A and B are shown apart, each in its own frame.
Chain A
Amino acid sequence: LFCGSWGSFPAPFPRPCVGNSVERKIYIPLNHTAPCVRLLNATHQIGCQSSLSGDTGVIHVVEKEEDLEWALSKGPHPPYMILLNGNLFSRSGFLGLGTPKFGIKSHFPCPGLYSEEHGPEFAHCNGSVWNPLGSGVSYEDFPFPIFLLQDANETETIKECFRAHNVPAVPGAAPQFPLCAMQLQSHMHAAASTVTCMRRSSLQSTFSINPEIVCDPLLDYNVWSSLQPINASGKVEPEKRLILAATRVDSHSFFWNVAPGAEAAVGSFVSLLAAAQALQAAPGALGLPQNVLFVFFQGETFDYIGSSRLVFDMEQEKFPLRLENIGAFLELGQVSLRNDSVLWMHTDPISRRNQSVDSQVRDLLDVLNRSSPGSGVSLADPGVSQPLPPSSFQRFLRARSIPGVVLSDHRGQFHNRYFQSIYDTAENIGMHYPEGLTPEEQLEFVTETAEALAQVGTLLARALFSLAGGTDPTESIRADPKTVTRLLYGFLLNSNNSWFQSLIKPDQKGILGPFPQHYVAVASPTNTTQLLQAVLGNLTGIRLNLSREECQDPGKNPALQSELYEYWWVQGPLDGNSTSRIPGCVRSGVRLSPALSPAFELRRWDSREFSTWTESRWKDIRARIFLVASRELELLTLSLGMLVLLLSLLCTFIPRIPNPQFPNSQTPKCPNPQIPNSQSQIPKS
């Protein structure tokens, strides 16, 4: 099929014939992109905004800083669409784009619960600069669209188009029209702040026939489970003390739905999963005097949505536990980049000013120190005066002084160079596989990272066993590196692998796919949460010999104790070489608890106490490239058209205009001014 070119502009370059639609001859869509979207909190908006029908600009490929300067100040055909490589995507580059008229300013104070009121040493964010390598670009507000190009082929297409049309034949001269241009459309509906967008949404839903909601709160579910079963709708007795082991699950980046979060989240929750499995399998675990609760918080990246909601639920008695029931709190911060196998034990100096809390914390540290020999992890204490790093534990401390420790691989600033960035991938935590492995072999290959994280899991499991009152020696408690490596592969490289496929319910197949990411999003539960639930259930639960009906409806059989356990009918592994599976019933104590910020429950959208992050809604997000003509040619075409229109109007209407009629212009005599109601006095004309 010959696809000729239309109009006076040649097609950018030869490509296969896909039909004779004019649109397809003009535009090349970019399908593998990730946009930067608008997020809002109580007072500000961050992210990017485009015009309603998209912003168009002449493409300029920037390879060095000088190219950027040229495009900003000396380019002859503004506006430009800049194509930047990742390494130039830095704060200084952006502040260059943010000329004074954009006014890009950073307005986020130091994180955490430390401020001057706790003591002068905490003023001016002293001791709280945890991520100095971070550019802060994610939290700026840009009035133009920014997209991430994820497909190398598409990037090459754009560069070819640029080289073919936008580079002048003579260096230094201006390139001639037609030029290759790109249009990015990512128009966001919400504006100003959460207060504004939620107010507008509620006005719309109250008064409008067709309500237009403009933003949604970020929400998901926390995943929790316990060593010994707990009645999810009951209450734990007030004198019982439980040990809470927690970590975060989510991450964020500049671009929407691209949050690999390897060191920021995945490494930590994989270690906690391994510890949960090891502890559940430990002899005597089910008879320990104290129970252990494993909690995986969602939404922590956005002002601790999950943990603040759990604390709120505990205070409101909507959770089986209350804050008084927490005997100790152990949190895994970022643990995947340990130097010399050292793990730092961070504690809170403010609550330790109280003697009883301090002694409990010391006991906690002792137990940890006693559990470390033989696990491969060496523990270190950063000192009493050092404040806690940003962590979920801080939310619990705001409500009550609980003895607790946050374990992390960094003493002061993060070891993670790519915290909350698209580059926080498997490579960032050193996961390397030998060449030539099939995906199944990669799934099973135990990397060094997996060994290291298994050591952290071992340490945690042993410490939790001792904290819960176990007196037996803990050398036999070991986290399994094979499990850890499969978890790392599944949550960082490809979740559509044979192990994850065997853990999920038959209707959950859509949650598996390559390039997993962990953004909390506004549709819940996310793929990550559902997978986490399935995995935790498999690692801490047992397989039962029940039929499908019994498993899916356990309430009918009181012996199954459906208030204490969750029953899942999972797909199971493949049956040998065939395509059918061996399903089964898994009983576990894994539950979900809502992770929606209390600010939205209480409708306090300007809350300073709780997270108020929302994500804007949008209609269309797309990117495409095409050739554009010069402004002069466009105006000429338009003027010619208008001229033709006017001429044709004249030709059609002039012969038809009838003789104009004017009203009678006689002037009557006006008598004395009276109320002109009596008709007899006015002469008829």
Chain B
Amino acid sequence: MNLERVSNEEKLELCRKYYLGGFLLLPFLWLVNVVWFSLYLSQVCHLSRYVIRSAVGAALWGLGLGVWVGLFQTRRNQWGALGDALSFTQPMGEP
């Protein structure tokens, strides 16, 4: 989709749809909002409302996932059976 050929109203509509969609546990929609539409903040009215909220949402998700991944990678071998149950692939030769 080439955003340059889309009218401003449609851009706003798209941004709003993505913003609402992100609440269905789809943080990448928020990330897409931020990345795509931040270039058009000055052109389209009321776009900033959705872009900023999406940015906040994406940042929170990023932080949460980052913390979880960090914990998992560093602490998994201390979690015993729980760690193995949470893993998709088992590391070979590591506890």
Binding site for B on A (CB under 8 A): 38, 49, 52, 187-192, 196, 199-200, 203-204, 212, 214, 616, 663-668, 670-671, 673, 676-677, 679, 682, 684-685
Chain B interface residue count, Cβ-Cβ cutoff 8 angstroms: 25
Contact with A along B46-88 (1 / 0, CB 8 A): 1000000000000000000000000000000100110011000
9 A-B pairs with least C-beta separation? A192-B95, A670-B45, A189-B92, A191-B95, A200-B90, A679-B9, A676-B46, A188-B93, A676-B12
- The verdict on A204 contacting B9 (CB below 8 Å), with A663-B40, A667-B43 known, is no
A196 to chain B minimum Cβ distance, whole angstroms, is: 7
- Which residues of the partner chain A approach B90 to less than 8 Å between Cβ atoms? 200, 203-204, 212, 214
Majority SS at the chain A contact face: loop
- The verdict on A190 contacting B93 (CB below 8 Å), with A200-B84, A676-B12, A682-B9 known, is yes
Q: Which chain B residue has the least Cβ–Cβ distance from A671? A: B45
**Among the listed B7, B13, B42, B84, which residue makes an inter-chain contact with A196, where contact means beta carbons less than 8 Å apart?**
B84
The contact sample of 5 A-B pairs, CB cut-off 8 A, is A188-B92, A196-B80, A663-B4, A663-B40, A668-B45
**Among the listed A52, A187, A671, A685, which residue makes an inter-chain contact with B8, where contact means beta carbons less than 8 Å apart?**
A685
B88 to chain A minimum Cβ distance, whole angstroms, is: 9
Cα distance A38–B80 when bound, in Å?
A: 20
- The verdict on A676 contacting B9 (CB below 8 Å), with A204-B90, A665-B42 known, is yes
Interface centre among B46, B81, B91, B93 (most CB of A within 10 A): B93
A604 to chain B minimum Cβ distance, whole angstroms, is: 15
Given contacts A203-B84, A667-B43, A682-B8, 14 further A-B contacts (CB under 8 A): A187-B92, A188-B93, A191-B93, A191-B95, A196-B84, A200-B90, A203-B85, A203-B90, A616-B93, A663-B40, A668-B8, A668-B45, A676-B45, A684-B7
- Which residues of the partner chain B approach A192 to less than 8 Å between Cβ atoms? 77, 95
Cβ contact within 8 Å between B94 and A667: no
Whether B24 sits at the interface, judged by CB under 8 Å, is: no
Cα distance A38–B44 when bound, in Å?
A: 65
Q: Which chain A residue has the least Cβ–Cβ distance from B3? A: A663
Cβ contact within 8 Å between A668 and B43: yes
Cβ contact within 8 Å between B84 and A682: no
- Which residues of the partner chain A approach B43 to less than 8 Å between Cβ atoms? 663-668, 685
Contact with A along B8-50 (1 / 0, CB 8 A): 1100110010000000000000000000000110111110000
- Which residues of the partner chain B approach A196 to less than 8 Å between Cβ atoms? 80, 84, 95
Cβ contact within 8 Å between A49 and B84: no
- Which residues of the partner chain A approach B92 to less than 8 Å between Cβ atoms? 52, 187-189, 191, 212, 214
Cβ contact within 8 Å between A199 and B12: no
Cβ contact within 8 Å between A670 and B84: no
- Which residues of the partner chain B approach A199 to less than 8 Å between Cβ atoms? 81, 84
- Which residues of the partner chain B approach A670 to less than 8 Å between Cβ atoms? 45-46
